[in-house]
Structure 1
Amino acid sequence: MKFLIVLVAVIYHYQSVDCLNAIDYLNEKLNDLSKEVVKAYNHVTVSIKNIFTRRNYEDEKEIEKYILEEKIKQSFNDFVEKSGSCTQHPDYLSFRSEPTALMSTPQLATLHGRRIESHIIKTKDNYLLTLHRVFNGSSIPDRTVILHHGLMGSSADWIMLGPTKSLPYILSDAGYDVWMCNARGNYYSRGHLLERVNSSRYWKFSFQEMGEYDLPAVINYVKKFKPIDEKINFIGHSMGTSALLVMLSTQPRYNEFLRMGILLAPLAFMSNAQGPIKMLTTMANRPPNSLLKVIGDTEYLPSRKMPKMMASKFCTGPKLFCGNPLLFLAGGIREDDSLEESFLARLLYHVPAGASTNTILHYGQLAQNGKFHRFGDSSAEFHLHNVRLPIVLVTSTEDWLATVPDVMRLYFNIVNPIDHYVIRGKNLTHTEFVWGADADVTVFSKVLELLVRGTNRKSLKENEV
């Protein structure tokens, strides 16, 4: 019917015009009409999908479109603006004016003169994750590295030390193609195809799901950019190591896709963990409502601040750091007058980057039961004998969470350990493996040496700093 109307209009309009012009005009109007029809159809389709809140986007472009339309992926600036304003310590106000404090990972990397890419991927259970790639155009075989941040962290953790001392840049300059993960729940990976981020269902995960779903999705995605037979190196810190061990235990085929694993401050067995994490051990399996009201029953401390009562009871370091949930649990950082204000600003506004309460409770369960097991079930231990990947374990004698005795136990439970490298007397706390003032010398130089030497045990130097 619309076609006839258009045709009549054209004939009337072109009564004194030749036939070719009329046909051109008719084609133009038909094209406009078809575009309007497609636009109307898409609008109706989206409306129907919104009614039933069910979406099934398959490719990355559709995922990106969904994130943009639904605005479920909260931007970095919105995150820090909202949560940073809740802090109790007045020094945050002065740090807020530091130019790099509110910069996201891509912005920081660009400031550092690096080429960085953002990739959005989907897991099998429909979580949306962001990968940040420090790209140098390298195609050298076996020089691909996946970095996975630690507890309550993000990809920003790896580049906080700036343009010369950060591990991704050191690796990139050495010819490595570096991919930085962002685990579900942090501010770069707050998306889901079916659930809203503020729903309780969204937050029902721990590091267990990161190993079962997130890491396989990351490896599968990165492999698309590589020759079929090329193997990938993995470097994990803290929670990133737990995710790797879960993946290799439950899906052993991924042992074949990786070249080697370097685990910094690995968390698996935690019988000897010290500090505030011990407070959770008696309540981790069945947390009382009173505890959940304090720490959150979905997202762990979404305000990004520790309650004053807990901070004053357990924290022995500077008050500025005691209120930070991650530094509170992990033992803080060195009280050093040489720390630059710009670094402190980046640290306090980027950390913590978000975590589920179940993740914290899961680690409390490990500390209580002395086993590496599934969430809520101490009898369901992960089968570490399935971990065949050559692995190096790196620990510090000053680490509250990944203690030397517990990591030694892990060493004897995996099939192919290369080395247990112990850093002694350097006052290296759990978080400083990534952003410690001397991490480039104490930790990263050893990491690069391990990558170059590979799985050759005889070539390793004495495992002590």
Structure 2
Amino acid sequence: MILHNSMATSLFLMSLLMLFLDSNPCTALSWRNNSLVDDIGIPCPVSPHPFTMCKSEAEAYGYPCEDHKVTTEDGYILSLKRIPHGHDTDNSTGDQKTRQPILLFHGLFVDGVSWLLGTPEQSLGFILADGGFDVWLANTRGTNTSRKHTSLSPKDPAFWDWSWDQIAEYDLPAVLEFVYHHTGRQKVHYIGHSLGTLIILAAFSEHKLLHLVRSAVLLCPIAYLSRTRSDLTRLAAQMFLAEAVYRIGIHEFNPVGKVAAQLLAKVCGDPKIDCHDVFSALAGPDCCLNKSTTCAFMLHAPQPTSMRNLIHLSQMVRSEGVRRYDYGNAKENMKHYKQPHPPLYNLSSIPTHVPMLLTHGGQDFLGDVPDTRHLLKTLVRNHDSDNIEVQYLPDYAHADFVIAYNAPRLVYEPMVDFFQRH
């Protein structure tokens, strides 16, 4: 059985390798405006130690940083970081009792440090802290700092037996409730990127967490994936027809992020290959990344996730709706859902009073424009007009919203203005 699971993983990684090697190493990522000012062919320097969010990022720039532990209902022990105020307390706006809490929830294959990879003038986490907010950074189960459990070891197959359903059902409420109670029962502003948008939409569609969330900003909202332009994502979805392996009784889910990271390191170690093409192959040609931030990102990602999580996402590529994980046969689905097919997350049922800002890019292959417009039609049609805003950036792709050099002006300033109005 382990052989079959390893074969599925190998096929997926082979598809990654073929696409990366097929990329043109001479093509700059920012082909529209030549924003990459450093030499493209020079590989990123090797990092001798993994990123530690507080020590190497926040505290290195003079920001206070706290490390909290949050235990989910199903036993996962998550790392939750906090930057309670800006690096200069005397110049900070407000105090800790009046600062509005904000939770930042990362996307797939990364963790909370993705919000801190640039300078204080470029990184959203630092910008919000300097802007008077109480900043919290989530780290989902399976990532490097959230790999503990009350009874399971990461070496146990059961540790990896989850998809984003469980992140939405357990990780998200556990973290939100912790922030809510730790900050004097203040409602929390929420910012999600990619997978971080999918889980909050799923929760809202079931009318959950509304008592904890003050407003929600969705960067590259992910819900419908059937029209994705990412060849890599489509190929991976087809490879995960090997999910049939699960359907015949395979229950061992090894974390794929670690293996993918090793492959990525080999590929990026070849001076003939431009590692920036990795971004383009997966998520679209980002317009506005600089070399140093991209290198920091590549040294930090990909983070581990579960095989079942990737299978669930691949199911979404082949489906028109947003459903819970499909166990592959009526008997298993009946056992988990009391119906032969996995239930839909009814996104049209999201309450119309929830303040939401959705921002997406024209070059994003994952949050593809047709899929995102389908989501927007679902949400905007009945939503209170005063409580929903949409921003479209035609040159932006997936990573631009988190690490682009001009995101502070184009994305973060409107976001802070939105928070101040809600």
Which interval holds the TM-score relative to the shorter structure?
0.7 to 0.9
Counterpart position of 1:403: 368
Note the C-alpha offset of 1:272. 1.4
**Please, what is the CA RMSD of the aligned residues?**
3.1
Instruction: Write the distance in 1 (CA, Å) between the matches of 2:208 and 2:202.
Output: 12
Counterpart position of 1:132: 81
2:303 corresponds, among 340, 353, 358, to 353
Question: Residue 149 of structure 1 contacts residue 239 of structure 1 at CA under 8 Å; is this kept in 2?
Answer: yes
**2:283 maps to 1:330:** yes
TM-score (norm 2): 0.74
Question: Residue 258 of structure 2 contacts residue 302 of structure 2 at CA under 8 Å; is this kept in 1?
Answer: no
Cα–Cα, structure 1 residues 207 and 332, in superposed 2: closer, same or farther, change >3 Å? Answer: farther
* Contiguous gaps of at least 5 residues in structure 2: 1-20, 26-40, 86-93, 247-251, 328-340
1:63-82 matches, within 5 Å, as none
1:44-443 matches, within 5 Å, as 95-96=45-46, 102-107=50-55, 108-136=57-85, 138-139=95-96, 141=98, 143-228=100-185, 230-250=186-206, 252-275=207-230, 276-284=232-240, 286-287=242-243, 297-305=253-261, 319-322=274-277, 328-331=281-284, 333-334=286-287, 339-341=290-292, 343-376=293-326, 379-388=342-351, 389-414=354-379, 416=383, 418-424=388-394, 426=395, 428-443=396-411
SS in 2 for 1:380: coil
Note the C-alpha offset of 1:371. 1.0
Instruction: Write the distance in 1 (CA, Å) between the matches of 2:144 and 2:263.
Output: 22
Note the C-alpha offset of 1:248. 2.2
Instruction: Write the distance in 2 (CA, Å) between the matches of 1:134 and 1:209.
Output: 26
TM-score (norm 1): 0.67
Note the C-alpha offset of 1:287. 2.4
Note the C-alpha offset of 1:268. 0.6
Deviations 1:371-407 (A, max 9, x none): 1110116641112244222222110001001122212
* Contiguous gaps of at least 5 residues in structure 1: 1-87, 291-295, 455-465
Note the C-alpha offset of 1:139. 3.8
Cα–Cα, structure 1 residues 279 and 223, in superposed 2: closer, same or farther, change >3 Å? Answer: same
Report the identity percentage.
25
Cα–Cα, structure 1 residues 254 and 245, in superposed 2: closer, same or farther, change >3 Å? Answer: same
Instruction: Write the distance in 2 (CA, Å) between the matches of 1:304 and 1:327.
Output: 17
- Bigger Rg, which one: 1
SS in 1 for 2:378: coil
Per chain length, whose mean CA-contact separation is higher, i.e. which structure has more relative contact order (CA < 8 Å, sep 6+)? 2
Note the C-alpha offset of 1:332. 5.9
Return the letter of the residue paired with 1:245: L
Note the C-alpha offset of 1:172. 1.1
State the number of aligned residues. Answer: 345
Instruction: Write the distance in 2 (CA, Å) between the matches of 1:222 and 1:92.
Output: 42
Structure 1 window deviating more from structure 2 (367-376 vs 130-139): it is 130-139
